[in-house]
Amino acid sequence: MILLIVWPWLVEQEGIHCRVIGMAFFYGCLALAWNLFSLSGAISLGHAAFFGLGAYGSALFCHYASLSPYLTILLGGLLGALYGILWHVTFRKLRGAPFALATLASVEIPKVVIDNWEGFTFGSLGVVGIPELPSLSLGSVLLNFGKDPAALYYLLLMVLLFMTLVHRYAMTSRWGWAIRAVREDEIAAAALGINVNKTRFQVLCSSAFFTGICGGLYGHLIGLIEPGLVFSLHISAVPLVLSMFGGRLQWYGPILGAFTLYPVDQLLFRSLLPVGHSALYGLIVILTLIFFPQGMGAWLQKHLCPASN
Amino acid sequence: MAAETSMPCLELRRIGIGFHGKPLLEEISFTVSEQEIVSFIGPNGVGKTTLFNIICGRSNPTSGAVIYRGMDITGWSPHRICHLGIARTFQISRPFPRMTVLENVLMGIWFGKEEQVGSQAGRDEALDLLNLVGLRHKAGQEGRDLTVSELRRLELARALATRPKLLLLDEIAAGLSPQAIREAVVLINALREQGLTLLIIDHFLNLTCQVSDRLIALCDGRLTASGRPADVLNSPEVIRAYFGRSQN
């Protein structure tokens, strides 16, 4: 943690190392948001829907209503949560592979609508010129997120810490125990008084909300969004891969995945194999699933802290 | 043995259910008094477990009504029925495999009733229940590591953790040793003394006859006999269902 706090002072703030770790925080947030839902035992292949709706919601609210990005990011999260409610109502009876496929297919609906509603969403051209996050002043310190990479780094670190607390709460609180019981056996959970439907609803909407927040944040970080980018399979797959790699059932698992895979991919694979680095990424995922099916977090916990198992 | 009260603990009115267009249960009606122990017998596949599923809200009947202490609970969700005070064990044990035995029981204590139970009080209660079923020494072991006999006991402890008034035991003696079955008989009688009403499904007629006030026999989806254990076991319908011929 100390290393993460002092990192911008150890490396060049404008340089790639600071940016990569900052983006690892962002992908850590995305993975934590995805994993919230996965804690209930469901595997989603369609979180890009929440991400894209969050990104477009925030960008369009900014564009048409000239609201503060901090507010529009929250509205983007709410838009994601609304789509989560629709998922819950529509896919309530589905489990396992049919559920995963339904989530994958559901990304196409908002994507096609946004792609074709050119008058409102600018269609496949995307939204450009999305405003940067406005500066904040903390006493005498001015945090200029648009111009100061270190300020942005610390903002993303704060968001990651908040998401980690939410994720940890969803694992260790009594609500977390209900989620865990639903994951392990929902019939037994219901027979013991757990409202399975409500628990799944709460966890899905929370996950959709935070994924929407990530989408909104992404638009303001990058400055432009287009349907092919924010509704892509890549956006759905990345948090899944990071969580699987780090360990879905450890509170720190998705963060471990983001801190390991993303920097390795960006700093090592990309420079070694500028064209085929994704293939190496894919290979690592396959090897993880074969040799560490519970993720690296579970493996490390088993070997470094056997007493905690 | 059953306590005399004006309102039955449980009443099933003309319950019917079918799967894929084929009726499984038809016109099942009976009442159970407070603190009564009633066992269900019948060939495999006759619908005994389905009847438990209907009472506990896991399956919805196509006709009829389930009345619990004067309240129509037909079609209620399982967690609401649990909060009312109806708990069950499963024919095939359903532990939470990656939770410890203690955590499995804690789930019942924490969520079985709507009121909150503190963490330490919950743990103490869970350990008492594990003591009752003889699993205290396994408290730290994961559910997936238990033997069949231990799983049965865990199921019972977990159901009791919800503090039920009506307890449904599905094949509680399956896989138990003769000694464990004798202990189960003692435990079931002790539970009744504590004020519980029990419904039991078990193929061990030795156990069901020892503990039950009444047997209900199901055959071909219908209730064919109901009464004292000796009377039901000697009824021509039951003999025909079990042996394919009448007593004569």
Nearest CB among A178, A193, A197 relative to B162 is that of A193
* Chain A residues lying within 8 Å of B94, measured CB to CB: 185, 187-188, 191
Task: Look at A181 and B96 and tell me if their CB atoms are within 8 Å.
Answer: yes
pTM of the model: 0.90
Tokens 């449980």 found at? B10
Mean pLDDT for all residues in chain A: 91
Nearest CA in chain B to A179: B107
pLDDT reported for residue A285: 79
Mean pLDDT of B210-229: 93
Q: Is A188 at the interface with chain B, CB within 8 A? A: yes
Task: Look at B106 and A197 and tell me if their CB atoms are within 8 Å.
Answer: no
* Chain B residues lying within 8 Å of A191, measured CB to CB: 56, 58, 78, 82, 87-88, 90, 94, 159
Mean pLDDT of A74-80: 98
- In tens, the pLDDT along A195-212 reads 999 999 999 999 999 999
Beta carbons of A253 and A295 less than 8 angstroms apart? yes
B247 pLDDT higher than 60: no
Grade residue B206 by pLDDT with cuts at 50, 70 and 90. Answer: confident
Contacts of residue A120, defined as CB under 8 A and 6 or more positions apart, other chains included, come to A60
Q: Which of A193, A290, A254, A249 is nearest to B88 (CA)?
A: A193
pLDDT reported for residue A309: 55
Q: Is A172 at the interface with chain B, CB within 8 A? A: no
List Cα–Cα distances, A269 to A99, A275, A278, A282, A288, in angstroms.
Answer: 33, 10, 8, 12, 17
3-state secondary structure of A299: helix
Rounded to a whole number of angstroms, the distance from the CA of A248 to the nearest CA of chain B is 14
Task: Look at A191 and B56 and tell me if their CB atoms are within 8 Å.
Answer: yes
B241 pLDDT higher than 80: no
Select the residue from A183, A192, A199 to test the B interface by mutation, using most B Cβ atoms within 10 A. A192
pLDDT reported for residue B21: 83
Angle between helices A2-10 and A149-172 (to 10 degrees): 170
Q: Is A185 at the interface with chain B, CB within 8 A? A: yes
Grade residue A57 by pLDDT with cuts at 50, 70 and 90. Answer: very high
Task: Look at B96 and A194 and tell me if their CB atoms are within 8 Å.
Answer: no
Rounded to a whole number of angstroms, the distance from the CA of A186 to the nearest CA of chain B is 9
pLDDT reported for residue A113: 97
Rounded to a whole number of angstroms, the distance from the CA of B178 to the nearest CA of chain A is 28
Task: Look at A191 and B78 and tell me if their CB atoms are within 8 Å.
Answer: yes
B3 pLDDT higher than 60: no
Nearest CB among A185, A193, A194 relative to B94 is that of A185
Mean pLDDT of A65-71: 95
CA A24 to chain centre: 11
Nearest CA in chain B to A195: B79
Mean pLDDT of B77-92: 96
Task: Look at B113 and A193 and tell me if their CB atoms are within 8 Å.
Answer: yes
Residues of chain A with pLDDT > 90: what percent? 72
- In tens, the pLDDT along B15-53 reads 999 988 888 999 999 999 999 999 999 988 899 999 999
* Chain B residues lying within 8 Å of A181, measured CB to CB: 96, 99, 107, 111
pLDDT reported for residue B18: 92
ipTM for the complex shown? 0.91
Mean pLDDT for all residues in chain B: 91
Would strands B37-41 and A141-143 be described as parallel, antiparallel, or unpaired? unpaired
Grade residue B243 by pLDDT with cuts at 50, 70 and 90. Answer: low
pLDDT reported for residue A168: 96
Residue A63 burial (C-beta neighbours within 10 Å; 0-12, 13-18, 19+)? middle
CA A279 to chain centre: 22
Give A146-153's long-range contacts (Cβ < 8 A, gap of 24+).
Answer: A148/A13, A149/A8, A149/A13, A149/A14, A149/A18, A149/A19, A149/A22, A150/A8, A150/A13, A150/A18, A152/A22, A152/A221, A153/A7, A153/A8, A153/A13, A153/A18, A153/A21, A153/A22, A153/A25
Q: Is A177 at the interface with chain B, CB within 8 A? A: yes
Instruction: Measure the CA–CA gap between A258 and A241, rounded to whole angstroms.
Output: 9
Beta carbons of B154 and B123 less than 8 angstroms apart? no
Rounded to a whole number of angstroms, the distance from the CA of B87 to the nearest CA of chain A is 7
Instruction: Measure the CA–CA gap between A266 and A50, rounded to whole angstroms.
Output: 25
* Chain B residues lying within 8 Å of A309, measured CB to CB: none
Nearest CA in chain B to A182: B96
Mean pLDDT of B100-125: 92
* Chain A residues lying within 8 Å of B76, measured CB to CB: none
CA B226 to chain centre: 17
B133-168 exposure pattern, b = at least 16 Cβ within 10 A, e = fewer: bebbebbeebbeebeeebbbbbbbbbbbbbebbbbb
Lowest model confidence (mean pLDDT) among A11-25, A262-276, A282-296? A11-25
Report domain extents, chain A. Answer: 2-233
Rounded to a whole number of angstroms, the distance from the CA of A257 to the nearest CA of chain B is 23
More confident residue, A150 or A204: A204
pLDDT reported for residue B248: 47
CA A190 to chain centre: 29
Q: Which of B58, B31, B18, B38 is nearest to B229 (CA)?
A: B38
Task: Look at B98 and A184 and tell me if their CB atoms are within 8 Å.
Answer: yes
Mean pLDDT of B102-130: 92
Mean pLDDT of A105-123: 96
